[in-house]
Structure 1
């Protein structure tokens, strides 16, 4: 938690202000400014801390005695971090697909961990069955309070004075997308095109937009397990109904390659889910070509190591 002298408790947040910096390698490649909103620098390792921190603060103020959450990894880490900082016990349910590293990080924050089900949907249902008196459920992405918290990353971009010509971000369940759309609207940036990126096998949002109705995937087959929601939240679909959001679907191999490139050029490890958004810089989408500049939400992800990225890349090769 920020401990700036002269700052009131009301102004403190569990998340931090993250760098918003221009990438020279990507700017040279695209021949235009490419800005990076470095959410990988959050204490929990991903953007999730913004919205989940806001929700945990609100629930603690309302008297919550325990936080219960379901997660594919990063949301659980964020809830566990918040619980430790706020002094509230935490129980997180993750599916079998959650990497061991994510499980270890959740436990290291002092939270209880339960592994249940093959995918997040099964873990989510089980987590809800555990809710008892005094417990507060922390959804990993589908809550207006979470979206409001995520929107602060756009507030910071606006305060920095660099309005992009387009924004690139990864989409799983749609929480980040909802937050960015809210942030664009409240900062008067509603004319900024948004390109939403998924990986093949975790592309429920793109399929839902294509079919004009919510689509639930039978399984998640992508290695980008942080994008592992089988169905997008209604809030994301509502935004898409009245604002044009461009969909891009990348392969797992492209996402991993982009994550490794980011490690080499920017010295930061990010998950394949984040790599998908970075990979889309090479996709040649018309909205990106037409933009005078591009901002990428480097959403981060703490559940992968550099060696694991290299191992994945070798498997695809």
Structure 2
């Protein structure tokens, strides 16, 4: 593995994420009627793509000499990524979680060497404490998605894919929550000359802040997260994401699917490829399993598609027990 990050500006440190494979999917290609390639970031050590951007941000802070302690408010994928990167870099990490966070999540974070502070009954209260602690001298607050260093790290996903694929895809499919991953994908596509390839950004009903921003013409708050796809659960999208949408380089299409479609995609993907992924990732997979691509073609919004690249973003908070519960809850 190359010891230098593809995009990360820290030339003197090894990258802390894996170069994950792009795999041709026979089952999804057969279902879709076009070639489906999977960028398997579910294989990242922390369980999701977030290690790319968060490790980049932490490494840059260390290189500047102003970051000796990492703070993050997240019991999910951002927290896992922050804890994993901090452990590899040998610096202290504190993850602040609300009281509703399952104990098994807290234990996973502790196993990575992180201090876990349980604070408040909801996420916003935990975030408030993390912001306070992270504002101390020589400390770094890690946001879930809203930072250029995070986007820069995520761009490495496309750089790798462009080298790994023998052909340029006709469409890139991803999910979108707060917009950090999508921002990185857009930056990466511009860097590798894929800016003529459209992007399909998938959301769920009830976790659709990007769709709301498009409709309003500006970043707006949605009232609440009512979807099972909690990892997409930002109440407002990054203003940069909406700006990229308006610039249309690449053109970004936005579609929403139901929670039932998302869980169906997660279950079918586990059967087809023996991988467990979170509902947020299921939103991307549902673009294929629920024939969203074909619907866009039929409506004239999308042209000829011979191959697609699906970003399998992963998710660390999933298990066989959780998957069985989803199946029971949604009658799948």
Q: Shift of residue 119 of structure 1?
A: 5.0
Whether the aligned pair in 2 keeps the contact of 1:41 and 1:300 (CA below 8 Å) is: yes
Match of 2:235 among 230, 239, 264: 230
Q: Which runs of 5+ in 1 are unaligned?
A: none
Relative to structure 1, is the Cα distance of residues 11 and 116 closer, same or farther in structure 2, using a 3 angstrom cutoff? closer
Q: Does residue 62 of the first structure (1) align with residue 79 of the second (2)?
A: no
Alignment of 1:35-184 (within 5 A): 35-63=37-65, 64-96=67-99, 98-117=101-120, 119-131=122-134, 132-160=136-164, 161-184=166-189
Relative to structure 1, is the Cα distance of residues 2 and 70 closer, same or farther in structure 2, using a 3 angstrom cutoff? farther
Q: Shift of residue 122 of structure 1?
A: 4.0
Determine the C-alpha separation between the residues in 2 that align with 1:9 and 1:190: 27
Identify the residue that residue 205 of structure 1 maps to in structure 2. 210
Q: Shift of residue 75 of structure 1?
A: 0.6
Deviation sequence 1:118-142 (CA, Å, 0-9, x none)? 5544433331012212211111211
Whether the aligned pair in 2 keeps the contact of 1:73 and 1:103 (CA below 8 Å) is: no
Relative to structure 1, is the Cα distance of residues 204 and 67 closer, same or farther in structure 2, using a 3 angstrom cutoff? same
Identify the residue that residue 23 of structure 2 maps to in structure 1. 21
Question: In angstroms, what is the RMSD of aligned CA positions?
Answer: 2.1
Q: Shift of residue 201 of structure 1?
A: 1.2
Q: Shift of residue 117 of structure 1?
A: 4.6
Whether the aligned pair in 2 keeps the contact of 1:2 and 1:16 (CA below 8 Å) is: no
Deviation sequence 1:122-166 (CA, Å, 0-9, x none)? 433331012212211111211111111100010011112331100
Identify the residue that residue 277 of structure 2 maps to in structure 1. 270
Deviation sequence 1:208-266 (CA, Å, 0-9, x none)? 11121212122211111111111111111111121131111111111111111111110
Whether the aligned pair in 2 keeps the contact of 1:15 and 1:42 (CA below 8 Å) is: yes
Identify the residue that residue 261 of structure 1 maps to in structure 2. 268
- TM-score, normalized by length of structure 1? 0.93
Alignment of 1:275-294 (within 5 A): 275-281=282-288, 282=290, 283=292, 284-286=295-297, 290-294=304-308
Identify the residue that residue 329 of structure 2 maps to in structure 1. 315
Q: Shift of residue 116 of structure 1?
A: 3.8
Whether the aligned pair in 2 keeps the contact of 1:169 and 1:196 (CA below 8 Å) is: yes
Whether the aligned pair in 1 keeps the contact of 2:3 and 2:15 (CA below 8 Å) is: no
